[in-house]
Amino acid sequence: MITNAKTAPGPNTPGLMGDLKAYRTDPYTLFTRAWREHGDFVRLRFGPIPVFLPGHPDYLKHILLDNYQNYDRGQLFKKFERYTGPGLLTGYGDTWLKTRRLAQPAFQPGNLDQYAAVMADGAQKLVERWRPAAEAGGIIEASDEMVYYILGTLGRTLFSIDLSEHAADIIPAAHYAVITQVTKTGTLWEMLPEWVPTPHYRRVKAIRAFFNAIVDRIVDLHRRGVHDSDYVSLLLKEEANGNLTAGQVHAETLTALIAGHDTTAAALTWLLYALAMHPEVQNQVRSETDQVLGGRAPTIADLPQLIYTKKTIMETLRLYPPAWLFPREPAADDEIAGYHVPKRSIMMLTPYLVHRHPEFWENPEVFDPHRFGPEQDKARHKYAYLPFGGGAHQCIGMHYAMQQLIFTAALITRAYRVELAPGGPVLPETALTMHPRGGLRIRITARG
Residues that bind ligand HEM (CB under 6 A): 88-89, 100, 255-256, 259-260, 263-264, 267, 322-323, 326, 387-389, 393, 395-397, 400-401
Least distance in angstroms from the C-beta of 253 to ligand HEM: 10
Considering beta carbons, is residue 60 or 337 the nearer one to ligand HEM? 60
Considering beta carbons, is residue 24 or 318 the nearer one to ligand HEM? 318
Least distance in angstroms from the C-beta of 259 to ligand HEM: 4
Determine how many CB atoms are found less than 10 A away from the CB of residue 209: 9
Task: For residue 331, report the phi and psi dihedrals to the nearest 5 degrees.
Answer: -75, -30
Q: CA angle, 270 as apex, 266 and 275 as ends, to 5°? A: 150
In the complex, which residue's CB is closest to ligand HEM? 397
Tell me the one-letter amino acid at 104.
Q
Of 67, 31, 69, 73, whose CA–CA distance to 52 is shortest? 31
Quick check: helix, strand or coil at residue 110? helix
Least distance in angstroms from the C-beta of 448 to ligand HEM: 31
Quick check: helix, strand or coil at residue 85? coil
Considering beta carbons, is residue 89 or 140 the nearer one to ligand HEM? 89
Considering beta carbons, is residue 94 or 362 the nearer one to ligand HEM? 94
Considering beta carbons, is residue 315 or 419 the nearer one to ligand HEM? 315
Considering beta carbons, is residue 253 or 430 the nearer one to ligand HEM? 253
Q: Which residues of 99-135 are buried (b: 16+ CB within 10 A; e: fewer)?
A: beebbeebbeeebbeebbebbbebbbebbeebeebbe
Considering beta carbons, is residue 10 or 387 the nearer one to ligand HEM? 387
Least distance in angstroms from the C-beta of 341 to ligand HEM: 18
Determine how many CB atoms are found less than 10 A away from the CB of residue 220: 10
Least distance in angstroms from the C-beta of 12 to ligand HEM: 29
Least distance in angstroms from the C-beta of 71 to ligand HEM: 10
Least distance in angstroms from the C-beta of 134 to ligand HEM: 25
Q: How far apart are CA 38 and CA 176, in angstroms?
A: 33
Considering beta carbons, is residue 88 or 102 the nearer one to ligand HEM? 88
Least distance in angstroms from the C-beta of 384 to ligand HEM: 14
Look up residue 92 and give its DSSP letter: -
DSSP codes joined into one string, 13-80: --SSSBTHHHHHH-HHHHHHHHHHHH-SEEEEEETTEEEEEE-SHHHHHIIIIITGGGEE-HHHHHTT
Burial class (CB in 10 A: 0-12, 13-18, 19+), 255: buried
